[in-house]
Structure 1
Amino acid sequence: MSTNDYRIVREAAGVYPIAAPLIHLEGDERLALLDTFLSKSSDFADPDTTREALALRADGSPFALVLQVEGDEDTWLIPRTPITDAEVTEYVGALEIPEGVSVTVAPEGWSAVAVEGPLAPRVAENFVDGDIEDLLLHSVVDVERESDDGQGRLARVGTTGEYGYLLLTTDGEADLAQFVELATAVDGGAVGPDGLARVRAEAGMPYYDHGFATLSVAEADLSWIVDWERIGEFLGSDELVRPAADSPKLTPVVTAPGTRIAPGAPVIADGERIGTIVWTAAAGNDTEELAFALLDDPFVVPALDVTIDEVTAVTVTLPRVLSRSSAGASA
């Protein structure tokens, strides 16, 4: 990968199109439909806000992590994890759609573009009236378009721990080009998937790029995104198991720069196998290599020396890098 992509997301503003299929819902009972398959209740899904939720399979395994963008009269779902149009269409086709509700996968004419990095506000500010700082995290605002039939909605939301904004638009090609032009002006630009994946992994969000493998909700450390106290069943809820203190858990490990380990490799401590490597993060940060292992209890602790295919490694905490956005680097 180009380490410049990593630098752009960490230091400037990285622009990328959303590749996942968009899902558009309309109708008065659309929130009732969402309650049948999302892991969070729609009781607190207010207009002009965003939130993330899991869509589960009937067996309780995660199907997709989605961003819900709520409007006054419609809802957008944007998959955050790798998924195809065909998989989404099949999933939606198995749902019981209430009368008067429409669900459209990959609606014609619509797309989405995102920008993330400490200087991302310098890009997004060109799409709003007033101060970009007035757009709060997880909030959504309509974007005025030059054409009478153009539409757009800007959300302050990201995936990397740096500042992030996502634009839903009917002028995707032009908006993507403008995003790139504005980002280039602050030493940023378009970025590929590897640079984003590395920053996301360092923030503790590897599943955005890797999916879920065969992990359960608890093993993937995604129990925080399940509303365990909600009233009523939803798809897969009967099969969900609350995480226990002694459950295997996803744990980050690092190795020396230039050493690469493979998914599936055993993790050894004091001659005993204690887990398995699930994902390895993309390169980009030349100070260390990063991977994620599913480790048994009681080995889910930081600073544990382990061996992976004869490579020395150590368990660590997240985030691996303090975001510049948290230090107010957008000024």
Structure 2
Amino acid sequence: MTATTLAPADRTATDDYATLRTAVGAYRVTAPLVRLTGDDRLTFLDGFLAKSADYVEPDTVREVLALNADGTPFAILLHFEIGDESWLLPRTAATADELGAYLAQFEPSGVTVEVSPEGWGATAFEGPTAWSVAAAFVDFDISGLTLHAVTESTDAAPGATAHLARVGSTGEYGYLLLSDAPQAVHEAVLAAVAEQGGAEVGTDALARMQAEAGMGLYDAGFGGLTVGRADVAWMIDWNRIGEFHGSDGLVAPTESDARLTALVAPVGSRFTPGTPLTAAGRQVGTVLHQAPAANPEEELVLTLLDAPFWVPGLELTAEDEAGDARPLRTATLPRVIARSLTSKIA
């Protein structure tokens, strides 16, 4: 496929998907930012993040999990350490009010918490040529910005404070610009993306690629799943049970538990959440979420499957929205081999 730059009104989710897979797509980050300041901010973060901040380096970003009091997942967050500040950015759905209420329950001492700090915002861009866009915003060889590193960007917009992080959500090269001049930086990114044959992309194509990369929860949410059922137990530091919010309610998953599983189905199949999945007439799971139909080759469905049916390559059946029985097959993730895996940063 060859990506083409179209006027926004002419673009479809399939166009956006092709752009993200073959070139570079930009999008505005709409999730609420949180800024933390104060010498005790890392201690504060350790009170509710499921992995310790003991070994977090300055000018880095990591993905972390926060739990509810009962041990169920609250949100997946990006945690940035930039200078004397910590920043949080939700990956899963969380409003500013929800974040504010969640953080307020910990009564921070010596830490200032600002939810949606005025004037700040973020723009991201991803794709196999995203590095060539990022190169326009730094004064060094962009290959020197390693995954999960953050650097100051003096070229994003005149007079703006901007931080460029190498972090993505699609399996392709990804970068994010955090700035106090978000509109100017967003326009600068769009101009740089257009020069590389890319375009601004919508949420459907982005959500589809995230699901294919194994990050479908970003769009689907947790829907009341436990840590084990959501298959995010790897984000827990099990040696810190009792040390962070909600950890006392955790139960380590076992091989006999039901698990979040990706299935593929024929193009055009649409399934309602809650639809039963069957094997030889026996119900073995439930449809949770269907990724947007941006990939023209197949549909991707997230399900909760009983053990041992979450293994790859099994043929299952579900009734689609039209009432027809449709075949589905359990699949491994990532579903698509990212072009960035074989496309080097020049």
TM-score normalised to structure 2 length: 0.92
1:147 Cα shift? 4.8
Q: Is the counterpart of residue 21 in structure 1 residue 38 in structure 2?
A: no
Partner residue of 1:75 out of 44, 68, 86: 86
Q: Which runs of 5+ in 1 are unaligned?
A: none
Q: Is the counterpart of residue 3 in structure 1 residue 18 in structure 2?
A: no
> Is the partner of 1:218 in helix, strand or coil?
coil
> Residue in 1 aligned with 2:340?
325
RMSD, matched Cα: 1.3
Q: Is the counterpart of residue 93 in structure 1 residue 108 in structure 2?
A: no
The percentage of aligned residue pairs carrying the same residue is: 48
- Matched residue type, 1:18: V
> Residue in 2 aligned with 1:285?
295
Q: Distance in 2 between matches of 1:123 and 1:88?
A: 32
Q: Is the counterpart of residue 240 in structure 1 residue 255 in structure 2?
A: no
> Is the partner of 2:239 in helix, strand or coil?
coil
Query: Deviation per CA, 1:184-234, whole angstroms, max 9, x where unpaired?
Result: 122211111000001111111101112111211111111111111237511
2:13–2:294 Cα contact (<8 Å) kept = yes
1:221–1:250 Cα contact (<8 Å) kept = yes
1:111–1:170 Cα contact (<8 Å) kept = yes
Residue pairs, 1:1-331, within 5 angstroms: 1-98=12-109, 100-144=110-154, 147-148=158-159, 150-230=160-240, 233-309=243-319, 310-328=325-343, 331=346
2:58–2:83 Cα contact (<8 Å) kept = yes
> Is the partner of 1:214 in helix, strand or coil?
coil
> Is the partner of 2:119 in helix, strand or coil?
coil
* Equivalent residues, number: 329
Query: Deviation per CA, 1:76-130, whole angstroms, max 9, x where unpaired?
Result: 00111111111111112212201x2100000001101100000111111111111
Pair 1:60–1:231, CA change in 2 (3 A): closer
Q: Distance in 1 between matches of 2:289 and 2:83?
A: 39
> Residue in 1 aligned with 2:322?
none
1:72 Cα shift? 3.0
- Matched residue type, 1:251: T
- Matched residue type, 1:326: L
1:71 Cα shift? 2.1
Query: Deviation per CA, 1:239-287, whole angstroms, max 9, x where unpaired?
Result: 0111111111111111111111121110000111001011101011111
Q: Please identify runs of 4+ aligned residues in structure 1 that moved more than 6 A.
A: none
2:241–2:247 Cα contact (<8 Å) kept = no
Query: Deviation per CA, 1:147-182, whole angstroms, max 9, x where unpaired?
Result: 55x311110000000000011101111111111111
> Is the partner of 1:43 in helix, strand or coil?
coil
1:119–1:329 Cα contact (<8 Å) kept = no
1:299 Cα shift? 1.0
